[in-house]
Amino acid sequence: MGVAKRMDLLGSETAFAVSAEAATLAATGKKIFPFHLGDINLPTPATIVSAVKEAIKAGKTGYCPSPGIPELREALGKDVGDARGLNYGIDNVSIQPGGKPSIGKYIASMMEKGDVVLYPNPGYPIYESQIEFYGGIAHPYGYVDSPDGLRLDFDAIEEGIRKGANHIFYNNYNNPTGASSPDEEMQRLANLVVENDMFLISDDAYFDTLYEGTPQSIANLPGMYDRTLTMYTFSKKFAMTGWRLGGAIGPEKVIEQITRLNVNMESCTTHFIQHAGVAGLNAPKEETQAIIDELRGRRDILVKILNGIDGVEAHMPEAGFYVFPKVTGLMQRMGFHDVEEFRKATLNETGVSFCCRHHFGRPLEGETDFYIRMAFSGIGKDNLQEGMNLFRNWVDSNIK
């Protein structure tokens, strides 16, 4: 039996290959410092854990409505709306098993074959994979490194628009770069979307893990409410990556189509987990604040250590789990020409495991610098420091 031809178009999350490599090395007894993981090694808040037990005891174990239980749709619409200064009712919400499903379901239901779709690259690799799988033309836009941080490459966005792009993925508080848009950048993007009659998918995976200040959503800029689908996930804010709970929030006409795919694909998202989701949204703020405080501490230590290494330049991410340092200078000092070789040597020599730029979309023409992604969500402060000490010592003894 042959595999369907369309499977040739499907990409992957190659970062999982780095995890597998680290696990193989760990099995030989080597201590691994897991900076490659976008997972989180902190417990899910107690309120949510109690709620799931109660829901199972109460028999919330059968099928439930395909778009989600009404209590969760209502609570999530309110939570997402309040945080963005917008109004979302129950019909604007389709509950999903995680954040990721909204990406493919939007593409499957709203993109015609041959549509041009803009997406961030470096970015979450599933955009590129799903656009191409469903026969779209994936048009990447990157980031420009500036002293204030990484900025959207509007030349690439405008080029995509000239080619007829009618959809754009936008991941403010970006994975892997940690980039976030200042107000004027977000406004410029919204203007382009409105002027060119486009639709935007706002991947808000890290919206609620902003370390200081108030997160901003493009959905509340003029003209954007009807042109934005917000992708929400419980994974990061509530340390619930393995529970698989999220939602698509936006215009009813898009939500209806996404829900039709729910009926076909999974019938419904796990019933009792949805009740835990309601409890999470109503949980005392201290429970999620504790997660943010721990992550902020790790971020601060990591960025400081990285910037103390000659040849490494790291911006401080305002939100999310990732630092995306430029390591071109360090690689030159150590005599490396290939970032994958550098990654493997670091892993084998020190146990420090991280991903590189090429795990987040095909590198773009003209890229000359090398970047790596170090996640601080899956490693506690002591191990973080121990791993980075080993890394620094290894670097110092290998300068050419």
Ligand X SMILES: Cc1ncc(COP(=O)(O)O)c(C=O)c1O
* Contacting positions for ligand X (CB under 6 A): 38, 98-100, 124, 171, 175, 203, 205, 233, 235, 241, 246
- List Cα–Cα distances, 38 to 4, 33, 124, 217, 384, in angstroms: 31, 13, 11, 22, 15
Nearer of residues 229 and 331 to ligand X, judged by Cβ: 229
Nearer of residues 67 and 246 to ligand X, judged by Cβ: 246
Work out the angle between the directed axes of helices 285-307 and 381-396 (0-180°, nearest 10): 10
Nearer of residues 89 and 242 to ligand X, judged by Cβ: 242
Nearer of residues 342 and 360 to ligand X, judged by Cβ: 360
Give DSSP secondary structure letters for 244-310.
--EEEES-HHHHHHHHHHHHHHTSSS-HHHHHHHHHHHTS-HHHHHHHHHHHHHHHHHHHHHHHTST
Q: What's the CA gap between 206 and 174, in Å, rounded?
A: 8
Nearer of residues 43 and 242 to ligand X, judged by Cβ: 242
Three-state DSSP at 342 gives helix
Q: What's the CA gap between 287 and 284, in Å, rounded?
A: 6
Residue 204: count other Cβ atoms within 10 Å of its Cβ.
27
Quote the least distance from Cβ 261 to ligand X, whole Å: 15
Quote the least distance from Cβ 99 to ligand X, whole Å: 3
Quote the least distance from Cβ 205 to ligand X, whole Å: 4
Quote the least distance from Cβ 122 to ligand X, whole Å: 11
Quote the least distance from Cβ 123 to ligand X, whole Å: 7
Quote the least distance from Cβ 171 to ligand X, whole Å: 5
Quote the least distance from Cβ 72 to ligand X, whole Å: 15
Quote the least distance from Cβ 159 to ligand X, whole Å: 23
Torsion of CA 93, 96, 102, 105, to 10 degrees: -100
- List Cα–Cα distances, 43 to 246, 320, 378, in angstroms: 18, 17, 11
Nearer of residues 239 and 283 to ligand X, judged by Cβ: 239
Of 397, 236, 387, the residue nearest 322 (C-alpha): 236
Nearer of residues 278 and 309 to ligand X, judged by Cβ: 278
Quote the least distance from Cβ 329 to ligand X, whole Å: 27
Is residue 31 within 8 Å of 349, Cβ to Cβ? no
Residue carrying structure tokens 């976008």: 38
Nearer of residues 206 and 336 to ligand X, judged by Cβ: 206
Nearer of residues 33 and 321 to ligand X, judged by Cβ: 321
Nearer of residues 199 and 321 to ligand X, judged by Cβ: 321
Token pair of 274 as six digits: 């949805």
Nearer of residues 205 and 229 to ligand X, judged by Cβ: 205
Token pair of 281 as six digits: 């949204």
Q: Exposed (0-12), middle (13-18) or buried (19+): which is 108, by Cβ within 10 Å?
A: middle
Q: Under 8 Å CB-to-CB from 92, ≥6 apart: which residues?
A: 77, 249, 250, 251, 252, 255
- List Cα–Cα distances, 53 to 63, 184, 246, 277, in angstroms: 17, 46, 19, 12
Give DSSP secondary structure letters for 48-88.
HHHHHHHHHHTTTTS---TT--HHHHHHHHHHHHHHHT---
Quote the least distance from Cβ 128 to ligand X, whole Å: 13
Q: What's the CA gap between 30 and 32, in Å, rounded?
A: 6
Quote the least distance from Cβ 373 to ligand X, whole Å: 11
Three-state DSSP at 126 gives helix
